[in-house]
Amino acid sequence: MDNVNVLIVEDTPTESDALTKVLEANNYNIVGVATTFKNALDLFYNNPVDIVVLDIFLNDNPDGIAFAETISVTPNASKPFVFLTSSTDRKIFERAKLTQPFSYLMKPFNELEILYALEMAVEKFYAQPDVFLGEEEDTIISSEYLFIKKGKSLKKVLLTDIIYIEVEEKYCNIITEKEKFVILISLTKISKLLDDTIFSRTHRNYIVNTEKITEIIPSDNLILLSGNHKATLSDTYKDILKNIRTLK
């Protein structure tokens, strides 16, 4: 599991310092602190960013909103935003709201509030509500990562790192090259949201990353995976054999 990358756009050093301190304490990775609009774009395009925390006002101009607007209109570039503001001025909010989905946080804020705001932003951005706040689930699936709530903070797992997933009722065991952990997510949701060109169901309880398959032994109903992992192949799902490119 990796830390989530956060870009901070904030022109007041004391505030950005406090924010950095809080986020790092909660295992977030700060990729940079931008103080201007240009600086922010620069840092955004040159770093892997998962979430952006940005002040609406940079040097007394609503450049924060301008930044969000610029990112929003760039295809495939947009990321979850959390707007920071010290005023609830309606006009500014109306403008900021145009960059959907919209999450905001009033200054001053405490640790709980910023963590909550980050989680809300991720939920809203990937349109999977009531995940981190509820008790049934703890994982959001994007096209690249799994975002998993771990204690007070968020963690992420690159989807391509996953070898296979073993489902046990409400829980899913995620097995990667390096580790093995349990997440809370429903099977229907996971099968709906995972990229089916990479992941295939091989059994009622197994979802396999086809890229990690080393050998399939149909007679034993067995799939051998990289890292000496094994998965079961049931008759119902034998069709995958046709879909998998095999070297001959």
Partner 1 sequence: MNKKIKPLLILIFLLFNLFLFSQETSDKLLFNSVIKKKATEYKSFPFFYKAASYFIEEAWDSTLVYTAKQLNSHQKKKDLKDFTNYLRGHSFKQKLLFKEAQKEFKLISLEFEFYNLVKFRLGQLSLELNHFKEAIVYYQELAQLPEDHFKYFNKSLVYHHLGLCYLHLKEFDKAEPFLIENVRLIEQKKDTLELIAGYGNLANLYYEQYKDDLAIPYFEKAYALSKSTKSFKKRSNTSLNMSVVEENRKDFSKALTYRKEYEQWQDSINNQNRIYEVAKIEKEFAVKQKQQEVNLLAAENKAKVKERNGLLYSALTLLILLGVTFYFYKEKTKTNKIVLEQKERLNELNATKDKLFSIVSHDLRSSVNALKTSNNKLLENLESKSLDTLKETLKNNSNIVGSAYSLLDNLLHWALLQTKQSYFQIEQTRLFFIVEQVAENYKSLMEDKGIAFKNSVQKTDKVFTDQESLKIILRNLIDNAIKFSKAKDHIHVYTQNKDSEYCNLIIEDSGLGISKTKLAELLMDETPLSKKEHENTIGTGLGLQLCKTYIEKNKGIFSIESTLKKGTKMIVSLPKATSNG
The footprint of partner 1 (CB under 8 A) covers: 88-90, 93-94, 106, 110-113, 116, 129-130, 133-135
CB of 112 to partner 1, least distance (A): 4
Q: Of 114 and 216, which CB lies nearer to partner 1 in the complex structure?
A: 114
The identity of residue 188, as a single letter, is T
Q: Of 75 and 108, which CB lies nearer to partner 1 in the complex structure?
A: 108
Place of tokens 């059994």: 203
Q: Of 90 and 248, which CB lies nearer to partner 1 in the complex structure?
A: 90
CB of 20 to partner 1, least distance (A): 19
CB of 51 to partner 1, least distance (A): 18
CB of 199 to partner 1, least distance (A): 25
**Going edge to edge, which strands form the sheet with 162-168?**
180-184, 171-176, 162-168, 206-209, 199-203
**What letter would DSSP give residue 221?**
T
List of residues 6+ apart from 83 with CB closer than 8 A: 54, 55, 56, 64, 65, 68, 96, 102, 103, 104, 105
Q: Of 71 and 114, which CB lies nearer to partner 1 in the complex structure?
A: 114
Task: Give residue 32's Cα distance to chain centre.
Answer: 18
Query: Looking at the DSSP assignment, which residues form a beta bridge with residue 183?
Result: 172
